[in-house]
């Protein structure tokens, strides 16, 4: 089965019913099927060949969805890029993925052989010949590349295939959203380039519309949720905190106007205070997902009825058809309350890293087990608890920030001799980026913060820089980020940090 088959069948089954809603723009299931066929045909006519990578930099909206699934039907490989990153960051990914084409809105971050602006899409769709675009690719061939960072600071792409995409849809339909029907409504308030995009197909195949909000704000979310009577949504923890700060949220609930049945969240640790407040205000609608780019959103989930006070620190139980283990550094499979690395296996995982065979070999065992790099433990009832990230990735507002990348930017400042970048706990953003630096000549911390503008996306820029006489180092001279973090946050060592092997 191909992804295009799901769209074609939904087009036949649900015809004139709304499939995609973006403000006043609506596409029916039949129109969505037809437009993705036509655009796929037009893309192939432009000189692209099945297997070619196509980078996409588009704001949240219908255009992006049509492009994504036209690429799927045409056998092309989608490389979705986060609009919040800088042109410099996009250019790196376009180069690394060897993209032959770029579909973009605004200024192009780089030049590729074939350049397509968002404004050209309607004409491409209108003038392409009708009829199905149905390039059939191998189940294990790349369908999309998802960029993720890594401790080296250089982002690398995860190869996701038709097999992994279909497994993700199946996992969602079995465990997370088993009752979808044409009366369900998915509200995409988070970027569809990221987690929210995974909710598109499960709703489509069940005849439920996907409503897209261009930019998240609590007001825009509430407006769309009330207008369309949204039943499902996905948020990163930061968005939940923002929604709860908005007085209109509780008012909408009190008036009985909110139809939300599932508020799915994940992608970063959530403060239990925020989660408890969310349940108090919105009711038992929260479902937590734990996953990563290498195994998107589908390693474990914590169901609404499992959100009891003592379970709020858990990431839930494995999806029915997903294998999960906790192992020690020697590879021994661990039991209850033993702390080790989390591994997962199943068709939901990536097939490999793009053009990084060594990284692939380090991450996936020959028998298919994938090392997540997360540290956790099982409790006596079989719930997984995440304790820390093996590497010191910072997650701010749901986006990953790789300390090395930020350190590299700081070190390009002429006065900065050493830098250690850490995440400081923040109730709204989950974590915010902070840095301690050692300078070689007199410098001003505020000027160093300003220096990072234009070099790093907003969510990666340090909010605070402190100038220290020296940075803490281990006996072998490695920078001790954890000590820096605790000193900057003014917190003592926690159980979670000391438990990390």
Residues lying near ligand AMP in the complex (CB under 6 A): 148, 266-269, 288-293, 315, 372, 374, 386, 389, 395, 400
Task: Dig out the tokens for 477 from the structure.
Answer: 């001279």
| Least spacing, CB of residue 105 vs ligand AMP, in Å | 24
Q: Closest CB to ligand AMP among 32 and 429?
A: 429
Neighbours of 47 (CB within 10 A): 11
| Least spacing, CB of residue 332 vs ligand AMP, in Å | 21
DSSP 433-493: EEEEEEESS---HHHHHHHTBTTB-GGGS-SEEEE-S---B-TTS-B-HHHHHHHHHT-PP
Distance CA 314, CA 378 (A): 9
- Torsion angle (degrees, nearest 10) of CA 345, 349, 352, 358: -50
Q: Closest CB to ligand AMP among 232 and 288?
A: 288
Q: Closest CB to ligand AMP among 244 and 395?
A: 395
Distance CA 230, CA 190 (A): 14
| Least spacing, CB of residue 234 vs ligand AMP, in Å | 12
| Least spacing, CB of residue 389 vs ligand AMP, in Å | 4
Q: Closest CB to ligand AMP among 76 and 190?
A: 190
Q: Closest CB to ligand AMP among 102 and 297?
A: 297
| Least spacing, CB of residue 251 vs ligand AMP, in Å | 29
Task: Dig out the tokens for 447 from the structure.
Answer: 């000027």
Distance CA 201, CA 120 (A): 26
Output the CA–CA distances (angstroms, integers) from residue 415 to 159, 300, 430, 440, 452, in the order listed.
39, 45, 30, 5, 13
Q: Closest CB to ligand AMP among 289 and 436?
A: 289
- Torsion angle (degrees, nearest 10) of CA 46, 61, 199, 153: 80
Neighbours of 181 (CB within 10 A): 9
Instruction: Count how many Cα atoms sit within 13 Å of the Cα of residue 436 in the half-sphere of its side chain.
Output: 21
* Buried residues in 333-346 as b, exposed as e (16+ CB within 10 A): ebeeeebbbbbbbb
Q: Closest CB to ligand AMP among 208 and 395?
A: 395
* Main-chain phi, psi angles of 149, to 5 degrees: -85, -120
Q: Which residue is it, tokens 């923890």?
A: 237
Q: Closest CB to ligand AMP among 176 and 395?
A: 395
Q: Closest CB to ligand AMP among 18 and 195?
A: 195
| Least spacing, CB of residue 148 vs ligand AMP, in Å | 5
Closest CA relative to residue 67, chosen from 148, 144, 15: 144
| Least spacing, CB of residue 342 vs ligand AMP, in Å | 8
In this structure, the strands spanning 352-353 and 186-188 are unpaired
Distance CA 265, CA 231 (A): 14
| Least spacing, CB of residue 38 vs ligand AMP, in Å | 33
Task: Dig out the tokens for 425 from the structure.
Answer: 């706990």
Distance CA 6, CA 29 (A): 11
| Least spacing, CB of residue 233 vs ligand AMP, in Å | 16
Distance CA 95, CA 105 (A): 18
| Least spacing, CB of residue 291 vs ligand AMP, in Å | 6
| Least spacing, CB of residue 395 vs ligand AMP, in Å | 6
């Amino acid at each position: 089965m191909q992804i295009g088959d799901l769209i074609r069948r939904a087009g036949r089954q649900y015809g004139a019913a709304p499939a995609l809603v973006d403000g006043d723009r609506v596409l029916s299931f039949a129109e969505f099927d037809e437009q993705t066929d036509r655009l796929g045909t037009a893309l192939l006519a432009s000189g692209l060949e099945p297997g070619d990578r196509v980078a996409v930099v588009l704001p949240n909206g219908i255009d992006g969805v049509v492009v994504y699934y036209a690429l799927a039907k045409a056998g092309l490989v989608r490389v979705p890029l986060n609009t919040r990153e800088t042109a410099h960051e996009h250019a790196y990914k376009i180069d690394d993925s060897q993209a032959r084409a770029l579909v973009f809105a605004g200024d192009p971050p780089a030049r590729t052989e074939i350049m397509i602006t968002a404004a050209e899409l309607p004409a491409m769709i209108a003038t392409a010949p009708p009829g199905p675009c149905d390039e059939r690719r191998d189940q294990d061939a790349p369908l999309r590349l998802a960029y993720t960072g890594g401790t080296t600071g250089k982002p690398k792409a995860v190869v996701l295939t038709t097999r992994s995409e279909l497994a993700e849809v199946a996992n969602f339909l079995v465990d997370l959203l088993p009752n979808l029907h044409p009366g369900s409504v998915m509200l995409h308030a988070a970027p569809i380039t990221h987690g929210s995009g995974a909710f598109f197909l499960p709703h489509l195949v069940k005849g439920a519309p996907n409503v897209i909000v261009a930019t998240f704000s609590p007001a825009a979310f509430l407006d769309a949720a009330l207008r369309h009577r949204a039943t499902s949504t996905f948020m990163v923890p930061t968005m939940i905190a923002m929604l709860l700060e908005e007085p209109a949220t509780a008012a909408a609930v009190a008036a009985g106007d909110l139809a939300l049945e599932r508020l799915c969240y994940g992608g970063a640790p959530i403060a239990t205070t925020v989660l408890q407040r969310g349940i108090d205000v919105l009711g038992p609608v929260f479902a937590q997902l734990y996953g990563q780019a290498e195994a998107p959103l589908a390693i474990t989930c914590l169901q609404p009825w499992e959100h009891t006070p003592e379970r709020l620190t858990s990431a839930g139980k494995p999806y029915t058809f997903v294998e999960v283990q906790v192992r020690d550094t020697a590879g021994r499979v661990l039991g209850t309350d033993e702390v080790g690395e989390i591994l997962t296996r199943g068709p939901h995982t990536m097939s490999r890293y793009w053009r990084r065979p060594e990284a692939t070999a380090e991450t996936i065992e020959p028998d298919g087990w994938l090392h997540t790099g997360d540290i956790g433990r099982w409790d006596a009832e079989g719930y997984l608890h995440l304790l820390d990230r093996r590497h010191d990735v910072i997650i701010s507002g749901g986006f990953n920030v790789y300390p090395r990348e930020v350190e590299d930017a700081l070190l390009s400042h002429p006065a900065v001799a050493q830098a250690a970048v850490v995440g400081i706990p923040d109730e709204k953003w989950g974590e915010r980026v902070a840095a301690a630096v050692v300078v070689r000549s007199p410098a001003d911390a505020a000027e160093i913060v300003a220096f990072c503008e234009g070099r790093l996306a907003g969510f990666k820029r340090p909010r605070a820089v402190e100038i220290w006489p020296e940075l803490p180092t281990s006996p072998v001279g490695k920078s001790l980020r954890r000590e820096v973090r605790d000193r900057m946050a003014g917190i003592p060592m926690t159980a979670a940090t000391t438990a990390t092997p």
